[in-house]
Amino acid sequence: MANISTNEFKNGLKVILDRAPCSIVENIIVKPGKGQAFNRVKLKNLLTGKSLEKTFKSSENIELADVMDIEYQYSYADADAWYFMHPETFEQIAADKKAMSGADQWLTGQETCLITLWNDNPIAVTPPNFVELKITESEPGVKGDTASSNVTKPAILETGVEIKVPLFVDQDEIVKVDTRTGEYVSRVKA
């Protein structure tokens, strides 16, 4: 892939660092009284999800990473991978557990997910911000005295993930969940 100069750094740009694709989160140029300028850059490693801070010489050359974020529809999963289909080309791709990075706990089928591809390989899967899932297991809520009552109770969703829901929500109900926080948002009318 092409090289760019650190002078062309912008937030959101994807570059290769130590052979891993990284996204630029912050880029500040610093210059001593005289001499070489430097870029103070915060990056996110797209493979590990870890943040790092690196100082670059200005006018240094870096390889651009061939990274694209494309929407695919979730199809199904087997023992090895999760399979997605492109809504227009019907192309199928497979993401492994590492790439799924927990997205699997929100998917039942047909959800539109954002797949991050590096050199055409899925490295990360982002589920939709909100999903609607059925509660398959939850005890009826019992209100205790107001001073010490819990306002939530645990509930297991059809995908197997456990979240906290308000006491008035019952088993077999459908709830809306924020996948970014794993939190209950509201009940959904069937």
Partner 1 sequence: MSLESKPSAIIIKERAKLLQQVRYFFYQHKVLEVDTPHLGQSTSPDPQTLSLKVGHQYLQPSPEFFMKRLLANGSGDIYQLAHVFREDLASPRHRLEFMLLEWYRLDFNMFDLMAEVFALVSLFLPNLKMHSLSYREAFNRHTKIENVHTASRQQLANIWQQQKPKLVPPSNMSKNDWLDLLMLDSIEPHLKGAVFIHSYPVSQAALAKIKNGRAQRFELYIDGMELANGFDELDSSSEQRTRFELENKQRIENNLEPITLDEDFLKALDQGLPQCSGVALGIDRLLMLSLGKKNILDVASF
Q: How far apart are CA 157 and CA 166, in angstroms?
A: 14
Looking only at residues 15 through 44 of this chain, which bind partner 1 when binding is defined by CB under 8 A? 29-38, 40
Q: Which stretch binds partner 1 (CB under 8 A): 46-54, 130-138, 158-166, 178-186?
A: 46-54
Residue 50 binds partner 1 (CB under 8 A): no
Length of the chain (residues): 190
Strand pairing report for 3-5 and 61-63: antiparallel
**For residues 5 and 92, which CB has a smaller minimum distance to partner 1 in the complex?**
5
Looking only at residues 55 through 74 of this chain, which bind partner 1 when binding is defined by CB under 8 A? 55-60
Structural tokens at position 183: 């939190």
Q: Which stretch binds partner 1 (CB under 8 A): 48-56, 111-119, 122-130, 136-144?
A: 48-56
**For residues 31 and 143, which CB has a smaller minimum distance to partner 1 in the complex?**
31
Strand order across the beta sheet in which 174-178 lies = 162-166, 152-157, 130-137, 174-178, 183-188
Name 112's bridge partners: 73
Residue 105: strand, helix, or coil: helix
Name 68's bridge partners: 117
Shortest Cβ 54–partner 1 spacing (Å): 4
Shortest Cβ 69–partner 1 spacing (Å): 25
Shortest Cβ 59–partner 1 spacing (Å): 5
Number of residues that bind partner 1 (CB under 8 A): 21
Residue 53 binds partner 1 (CB under 8 A): yes
**For residues 58 and 159, which CB has a smaller minimum distance to partner 1 in the complex?**
58
Tell me how many helices (H) and strands (E) the chain has.
Answer: 1, 16
Q: Is residue 112 within 8 Å of 126, Cβ to Cβ?
A: no
Residues that bind partner 1 (CB under 8 A): 5, 29-38, 40, 52-60
